[in-house]
Amino acid sequence: MSQSYRYTLGSKTYQFNNLAQLMAKATPQRSGDSLAGVIASSAEERAVAQMTLAEVPLKTFLNDALIPYEDDEITRLIIDEHDTNAFAAIAHLTVGDFRNWLLSDHATSHVLATIRAGITPEMAAAVSKIMRNQDLILVAKKCHVTTAFRNTIGLPGHLSTRLQPNHPTDNVNGIAASILDGLLYGSGDAVIGINPATDNVAQAIKLMRLMDDVIEKYQIPTQSCVLTHVTNTIECIEAGAPVDLVFQSIGGTEATNSSFGFNLNTLAEAQDAAQSLKRGTVGNNVMYFETGQGSSLSANAHHGLDQQTCETRAYAVARKFKPLLVNTVVGFIGPEYLFDGKEITRAGLEDHFCAKLLGVPMGCDVCYTNHAEADQNDMDNLLTLLGVAGCSFVMGIPGSDDIMLNYQTTSFHDALYARRVLGLRPAPEFELWLAKMNIMTDTQQHILSDTLPSQFARSLKALSGGQP
């Protein structure tokens, strides 16, 4: 049963009508919540809401659903799959106590892994709202989430990259050139993933076969994905296409996902189909999800909730299907939702923290649109902070500029920078391949070879009309 919350500051009493309103008012400022009309009216009200939220017992989130159980399958998923045994260790805490405990030395990586099934997305969202950026980084770094398909993603001390060779006309030579460029920078261990310019089953199969040919020819320990709709991928599997990972953008409410054209049953069907192919060599995590703050609001499916809480609820969907990869496309929707570099940075750290706390293998598309009040220096800052926080993977795109999707993100050399300055390494199987191919002469220091690997040189010579 929903209840109201009050806090008296001096001679003034603040009242919050319900838990959803309290959560929204406690959220650090962002343009999307202002657009939705749920933002705090002043910095003072926000601070009061945060102090009030800190006093809320964690148990409240099990009894006061922000979206009614009977109205939303994501709420039902969260409640039905909550692990009371895992929750027992923190069941006595308030949100504020939970923050203090997470920051303590008692909350080790092992302990955090044992309780993650007892944490609901709303609990994670609530505690993030009263944490500073450094708190989000410190706790996230302790949350280790490891997955595997043809290599191992998420090991401590590692940073993987999605090689994103998008092309505005899906030109095969253009895509192949981008793949080669990325591989020569040591990019692509998380996935070689293409957003198709023409999104249909036939085109998806064509691109899947292209990437499969490259992976097979050079024996690359990585996986491929065409980021088409989940129902298209199911059709591709039925047609015998070489599907490694199944992709879908997901949201935190049933109405959001309905607007995307799927439900939980659709994802279960796709997961079963992909796992039946048994294409993984070191694991069988076959799903790849993308999320982003603002998607529920843009679909008019947010139920009056703040965008960060909606975002965190999407991680319940991700957690259900044990994905290889999840990433928040943090600044992609635009300044209507995250206005500037400061808001994008905060959102990226929140998303990474909440996902890792819940046991989701989170990466980040560190990005912005050209009409946002942000630039590449803001992205450098967020990339560095996420690298410190233990982010699973980031994007790698030629020149940071996605010429098909028309947004700015991180480049191959940006990822190389992060690995070098923070002492992070690619997936171990991929690192061995980089050394074997002589792409890097020193994989620990990330020193690139001065010469083109002989196998790549022969292939390029053949393409130009010479003999392999």
Q: Cα separations (Å) of 259 from 253, 293, 301, 319, 332? A: 10, 16, 9, 21, 18
Q: In this structure, are residues 386 and 348 in contact, taking their beta carbons and an 8 Å threshold?
A: yes
Q: Mean pLDDT, the chain, as a whole number?
A: 96
Give per-residue pLDDT as tens, 75-133: 999 999 999 999 999 999 999 999 999 999 999 999 999 999 999 999 999 999 999 99
* Whole-angstrom distance, CA of residue 350 vs CA of residue 126: 11
Give per-residue pLDDT as tens, 243-276: 999 999 999 999 999 999 999 999 999 999 999 9
- The answer on pLDDT for 467 being more than 60 is no
Token digits of residue 138 = 């410190």
Note the pLDDT of residue 468: 44
Per-residue confidence at 463, pLDDT binned at 50, 70, 90? low
Listed in sequence order, the residues at least 6 apart from 333 whose beta carbon sits closer than 8 Å to its beta carbon are: 292, 293, 294, 295, 298, 369
Per-residue confidence at 466, pLDDT binned at 50, 70, 90? low
Give per-residue pLDDT as tens, 271-317: 999 999 999 999 999 999 999 999 999 999 999 999 999 999 999 99
Q: Do β-strands 407-408 and 393-396 pair in parallel, antiparallel, or remain unpaired?
A: unpaired
Q: Do β-strands 147-148 and 224-226 pair in parallel, antiparallel, or remain unpaired?
A: unpaired
Q: Taking residues 36-58, report their average pLDDT.
A: 97
Q: Do β-strands 224-226 and 191-194 pair in parallel, antiparallel, or remain unpaired?
A: parallel
Listed in sequence order, the residues at least 6 apart from 186 whose beta carbon sits closer than 8 Å to its beta carbon are: 161, 412, 415, 416, 419, 426, 434, 439, 440, 446, 448
Note the pLDDT of residue 460: 79
- The answer on pLDDT for 137 being more than 50 is yes
